[in-house]
């Protein structure tokens, strides 16, 4: 074990001094900091372009309301506190001259849009204020089909104005109607917990970011760390095999010590990487007011599952590296492992929606998927029952050990084999030997 | 067997249907320089790997430095494989410390040895350079230092001089002699027969997995008798054609080594009638000649 630790330490120091580690350690924090900076910058650079638009109001009653609403909108007084400023909507009424075909008016307005004199024009049909007039649509014309702010605003404002007009025509008291229709807020909460003094605590408000974004981020982070730590083991083993370093090493250590040392070195690198990422994530979460979303227990689970995942996938990658004579063969053998590796990404969505469903329980207990999927479930309150977590730990640990054992057997034989890659059948025979 | 560094008893190793080492027995005395020779694929490397416990024999047993479990002696054995393997991105001193640590050697001892050998092999100023900045010869010397940095009692050198220029080969040969002077047992696997003749106390030859030679150079050569004539003539190789006494000719260009069947004096008499003889020496066969006689019987 002493020699395995010596190898692990050397691997760890070598990795720490490598450019790849430097890039990894800088990449994620930079990405996070960059996204915060980008959001802040872009937040201040909202769409502030004035959007002049023409209105053909066949009803003759909606335009004044629309103009007044636009004035209020443009003043920004109705906007919630802290909301970013929006574009200014500048309406102008177009009244088609008598006898002039409507098509001609529409064409002229379209040409003005092309000349950038207008951004869009809207046509409110006369039937809109009549009974049953909803069948004729309000028509919005623009040369920017992907721009949503103005049509959404127009849709809401014109329909509200039309409803108000119709109700008023029907003699309904609008103020009374508004009071009666006022929506009661709906809040989604967690469960109440008993406090230390035996009283009922307060239930926490369910937060979409906390329940959706954080689990996905944690799972993705684990995937990235495993990929950046375990897969280089394949290249490292193959390089040492082809350059005969492994033969020099085997003069001093057993193949299992060599493999275990490299594996532990990789675990140390990934844990270091994760700790840095975690610290950055906690700082970022605190910045956005989600400090409580990343409790220390989740960080601990992350590290525990990460270690087992690295042992499992790292051992598999090392066995392939030892058994193959060139990178092409190794990539071919890696494909099925990679398919298994990305399994959690194919099933995370239904698990996130129903983390206590039978599907979620079964999937998160499959050892190769457990590190990512059980972590996903653990990061969604209230988390899975303790027996499921315990069973997942036992199964994953047992599988990790099995992988290390089998990989050790393949590694022992494969590392000295030159010039030819082993077949899957040979590898199975080596494991059985 | 307390005075033996390696004691091998009837070991056999098979890979599938191929028998790489077949019932080999060998004793390497402590403090000796033992040459392992044999053609490629004859079982040398497999034997060495079994001594190092990298491979396990299917049959037989091996005792290394008094330990029947060869793994137990691993830290007291230094191994320089034929194919060099160094971490190219590591700096020389760090790499040597790492290899020393893997042998369980104390840091201070390793540092002292590193300084000694770097100085001895003319690499002192390269201690803090990366391996990939070194020339092939320098890398080979670093590999040698990595082998001996833990002061092993037994050193196994597989082709230590291959690819070296004569100057560097001499430097490394002196280093091997330095090890011998310290009392280190050296197993020296090589295809360079003249180096084996010059350096080795005893020679072991393996061919097709079987031991075919084992003894001092004198013992081995004596077994073949004085049937070899080393000669230099004006006619060279062409002048030897059609002489019935000649069993085989080892042509070195200016010099021919001829194996003669019968009386060498009669052979000389016939030869002088054909060409001017400048040098005629009745001698025992060289190790090279013996090697060729064993490995290529159809030619010799």
State ipTM: 0.73
Is B146 in Cβ contact with A416 (below 8 Å)?
A: no
Is A6 in Cβ contact with B98 (below 8 Å)?
A: yes
Distance CA A397, CA A415 (A): 26
Whether the link from the prior residue into A382 is cis, omega within 30° of 0, is yes
| Lateral strand order in the sheet of B4-15 | B18-29, B4-15, B59-64
CA distances to A240, B112, B117 from B134, in Å:
19, 22, 16
Partners of B84 on chain A (C-beta within 8 Å) are 244, 248
Local structure of A417: helix, strand or coil: coil
A positions 394-433 inside 8 Å of B (CB): 416
Is A416 in Cβ contact with B49 (below 8 Å)?
A: yes
Judge whether A111 is closer than 8 Å to chain B, CB to CB: no
Distance CA A396, CA A411 (A): 21
Distance CA A134, CA A128 (A): 6
Distance CA B214, CA B203 (A): 6
DSSP state of A210: I
Q: Which residues are registered as beta bridge partners of B27?
A: B7
Structure tokens at B209: 């997995």
DSSP state of A211: I
Distance CA B295, CA B300 (A): 9
> Taking Cα atoms as reference points, which of A403, A404, A427 lies closest to residue A415?
A427
Rounded to the nearest angstrom, the minimum Cα separation between B114 and chain A is 18
Classify the phi-psi angles of A235: left when phi > 0, otherwise alpha if psi is within -120 to 50, otherwise beta.
Answer: alpha
Judge whether A2 is closer than 8 Å to chain B, CB to CB: yes
Rounded to the nearest angstrom, the minimum Cα separation between B226 and chain A is 42
State the average pLDDT over residues B69-91: 80
Is B85 in Cβ contact with A247 (below 8 Å)?
A: yes
pLDDT higher than threshold 60 for residue B300: no
State the average pLDDT over residues B33-42: 87
pLDDT higher than threshold 60 for residue B2: no
Is B85 in Cβ contact with A250 (below 8 Å)?
A: no
What does the pLDDT look like over B127-185, one tens digit per residue? 889 988 888 888 888 989 999 998 899 999 988 887 788 888 888 888 888 888 888 99
State the average pLDDT over residues B196-207: 87
* Per-residue pLDDT at B9: 92
Partners of B79 on chain A (C-beta within 8 Å) are 248, 251-252
pLDDT band at B10 (very low <50, low <70, confident <90, very high): very high
Judge whether A248 is closer than 8 Å to chain B, CB to CB: yes
Is A244 in Cβ contact with B83 (below 8 Å)?
A: yes
With contact defined as beta carbons under 8 Å apart, do A340 and A370 qualify? no
Judge whether B191 is closer than 8 Å to chain A, CB to CB: no
Classify the phi-psi angles of A47: left when phi > 0, otherwise alpha if psi is within -120 to 50, otherwise beta.
Answer: beta
What does the pLDDT look like over B98-129, one tens digit per residue? 989 888 878 788 889 899 999 988 888 998 89
Q: How many CB atoms neighbour CB A143 within 10 A? A: 12
Partners of B49 on chain A (C-beta within 8 Å) are 416
DSSP state of A185: P
Question: Given 3-state DSSP classes, what are the helix, strand and coil percentages for chain B, each rounded to the nearest 5?
Answer: 40, 30, 35
> Taking Cα atoms as reference points, which of A34, A50, A418, A42 lies closest to residue A240?
A418
> Taking Cα atoms as reference points, which of B182, B187, B184 lies closest to residue B200?
B187
Judge whether B111 is closer than 8 Å to chain A, CB to CB: no
No. of helices (H) and no. of strands (E), chain A: 17, 4
Partners of A416 on chain B (C-beta within 8 Å) are 49, 54-55
A245, A252, A254 ranked by CB distance to B86: nearest: A245
Is B99 in Cβ contact with A248 (below 8 Å)?
A: yes
What mean pLDDT value characterizes chain B? 86
Q: Which residue of B has its CA nearest to A242?
A: B85
Q: Which residues of chain A have pLDDT under 50?
A: none
Is B146 in Cβ contact with A252 (below 8 Å)?
A: no
State the average pLDDT over residues B288-295: 81
With contact defined as beta carbons under 8 Å apart, do A48 and A302 qualify? no
Residue with the two structure tokens 């492994």:
A246
């Amino acid at each position: 074990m002493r020699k395995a630790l010596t190898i692990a330490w050397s691997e760890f120091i070598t990795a720490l001094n490598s450019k790849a580690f430097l890039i990894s350690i800088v990449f994620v924090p930079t990405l996070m900091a960059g996204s915060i900076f980008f959001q802040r910058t872009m937040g201040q650079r909202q769409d502030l372009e004035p959007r002049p638009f023409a209105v053909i109001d066949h009803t003759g009653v909606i335009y004044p309301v629309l103009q007044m609403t636009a004035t209020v909108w443009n003043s920004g007084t109705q906007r919630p506190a802290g909301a970013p400023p929006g574009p200014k909507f500048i309406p102008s009424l177009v009244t088609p001259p008598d006898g002039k075909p409507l098509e001609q008016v529409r064409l002229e307005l379209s040409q003005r849009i092309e000349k950038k004199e207008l951004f869009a024009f809207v046509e409110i049909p006369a039937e809109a204020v009549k009974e049953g007039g909803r069948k004729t649509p309000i028509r919005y014309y623009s040369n920017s089909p992907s721009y949503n702010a103005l049509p959404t605003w127009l849709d809401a404002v014109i329909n509200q104005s039309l409803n108000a007009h119709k109700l008023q025509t029907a003699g309904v008291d609008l103020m009374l109607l508004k009071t009666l229709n006022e929506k009661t807020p709906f809040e989604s909460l967690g469960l109440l917990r008993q406090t230390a003094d035996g009283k009922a605590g307060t239930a926490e408000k369910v937060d979409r970011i906390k329940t959706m974004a954080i689990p996905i981020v944690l799972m993705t982070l684990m995937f990235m760390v495993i990929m950046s730590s375990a897969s280089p083991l394949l290249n490292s083993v193959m390089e040492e095999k082809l350059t005969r370093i492994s033969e020099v090493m085997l003069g001093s250590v057993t193949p299992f010590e060599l493999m275990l040392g490299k594996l532990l070195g990789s675990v140390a690198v990934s844990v270091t990487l994760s700790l840095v990422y975690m610290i950055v994530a906690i700082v970022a979460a605190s910045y956005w007011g989600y400090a409580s979303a990343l409790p220390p227990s989740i960080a601990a689970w992350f590290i525990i599952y990460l270690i087992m995942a690295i042992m499992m996938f790292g051992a598999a990658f090392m066995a392939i590296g030892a058994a193959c004579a060139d990178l092409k063969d190794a990539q071919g053998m890696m494909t099925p492992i990679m398919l298994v590796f990305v399994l959690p990404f194919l099933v995370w969505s239904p698990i996130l929606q129903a983390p206590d469903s039978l599907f979620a329980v079964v999937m998160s207990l499959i050892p190769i998927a457990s590190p990512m999927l059980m972590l996903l479930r653990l990061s969604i309150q209230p988390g899975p029952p303790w027996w499921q977590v315990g069973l997942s730990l036992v199964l994953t640990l047992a599988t990790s050990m099995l992988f290390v054992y089998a990989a050790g057997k393949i590694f022992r034989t494969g590392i000295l084999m030159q010039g030819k890659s082993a077949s899957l059948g040979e590898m199975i025979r080596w494991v059985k030997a | 067997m307390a005075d033996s560094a390696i004691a091998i008893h009837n070991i056999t190793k098979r890979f599938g249907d191929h028998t790489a080492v077949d019932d080999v027995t060998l004793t390497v005395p402590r403090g000796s320089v033992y040459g392992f020779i044999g053609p490629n694929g004859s079982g040398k490397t497999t034997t060495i790997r079994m001594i190092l416990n990298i491979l396990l024999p299917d049959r037989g047993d091996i005792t290394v430095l008094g330990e029947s479990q060869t793994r137990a002696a691993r830290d007291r054995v230094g191994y320089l494989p034929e194919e060099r393997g160094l971490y190219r991105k590591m700096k020389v001193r760090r790499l040597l410390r790492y290899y020393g640590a893997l042998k369980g050697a104390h840091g201070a001892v390793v540092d002292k040895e590193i300084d000694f050998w770097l100085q001895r092999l003319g690499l002192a100023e390269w201690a803090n350079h990366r391996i990939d900045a070194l020339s092939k010869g320098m890398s080979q010397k670093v590999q040698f230092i990595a082998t001996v940095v833990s002061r092993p009692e037994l050193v196994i050198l597989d082709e230590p001089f291959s690819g070296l220029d004569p100057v560097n080969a001499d430097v490394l040969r002196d280093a091997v002699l330095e090890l011998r002077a310290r009392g280190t047992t050296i197993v020296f696997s090589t295809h360079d027969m003249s180096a084996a003749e010059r350096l080795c106390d005893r020679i072991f030859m393996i061919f097709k997995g079987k031991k075919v030679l084992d003894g001092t150079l004198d013992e081995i050569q004596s077994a073949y008798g004085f049937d070899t004539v080393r000669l230099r003539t004006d006619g060279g190789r062409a002048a030897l054609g059609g002489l019935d006494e000649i069993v085989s000719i080892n042509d070195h260009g200016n010099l021919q080594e001829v194996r003669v069947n019968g009386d060498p004096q009669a052979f000389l008499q016939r030869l002088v009638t054909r060409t001017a003889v400048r040098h005629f020496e009745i001698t025992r066969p060289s190790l090279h000649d013996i090697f060729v006689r064993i490995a290529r019987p159809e030619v010799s």
